[in-house]
Structure 1
């Protein structure tokens, strides 16, 4: 006869010993240790009551700790290691159980519950600190992501056209389009845009007054101002009402 360890579903096991006999703090500690170790180091002993049910013969504390582990994590705490008493080994195993039970009871220490309580407090503290660290990391990552999204959104928002920047930086095609949006004819907008591009290639415009003074177009045989002060005011007023990407 060879004694072998089996994995038994916790939900199929019952115990005659009430759960209230054990301290909740000790069961909680043992449950978390079982989940961390992925099993008990001290298998329980059970006897078969029916095809799908078992009863604890020895290891009631381990059994209730496994029950608690299953409550915490149903997947990882689903099974427990157990020795199953059969007809061929019932007598010798029960004798061994009784002998070990007497030995454990005679050597029990009154300080065990205090020690378990301290270990439980340490475990809970470590779990809380671990969760706080993970939460802080998640919040930091989320904050950085939100900042990046805010910058991207800000960059994609339409910007109001700054008149002096427009004269100094827009391409000829863009400048023609903007001037036409201010009410200039296609011909006038094209002539002014050409003059603007030519003038700024020599020197950037220092102000809108500088634009008025330097931008000229051909009229007959003469060079005349392309934009009067009044027209510049009209252009500025028109552009102030428009937003461009």
Structure 2
């Protein structure tokens, strides 16, 4: 028989016949955190194969549920657990060893009642992982009919454990919801910022395309008339002259002209500062970069700029 040594088994491949509610949730939480911090469990569990890649707990239900909780907290770190796997060649010997260990654990946890002389389990020395399916050889007082204090106490403890487990899961869900809500809010803000940057350019491009479409729809003779109207030529040349002036005109002259056109000094100062950073590429770009300058104001400046051209 080969030397006995623990193996790493995936936690998700293991099942237990003992309900998780048998164990106090704070104890499971504490051990789970210690498993993650120390990088593993110092007390390997004992499992038996019940399929090609499946196992059931023979001993160590508490440790198993603590490892399962560790996997819930940090899946990569808590993915596996150390376990002794019962094989045909070693099962009989391991079960005998386990039986002796269980009996020893039960004896160590017994205390004598001074009044009756009977032996009882000592709650203060009871380990977190209760021994399951162990044979009790302790004589207990004869209880009256329907008197089951141990069952009642056990049920209350299980209910308390279930409530603690639910509370822990609810808190985790709340924390996860808050994280997802924060990520969603950030994504929405980024999308709004992109839209604010793109809308002026899209509007300007859309207007230019629409003007070209209208010109192409006009009959040739009317199109010639429109192209020869002085006002249209002036607006085009003025718009180009204004954009060029915003980028290149001497600052004192530009400041005086803009002030005469109706702009306030703080906005003029922003324009002068922004053009030093980088040239304006369009009127939409001017409105976007100059805080306090609106589309309507920009149009008024274009209309009044004709006397400076």
Q: Given the two structures, how large is their TM-score scaled by the length of structure 2?
A: 0.39
- The structure with the largest alpha-carbon Rg is 1
Between Structure 1 and Structure 2, the one with more strand by share is 1
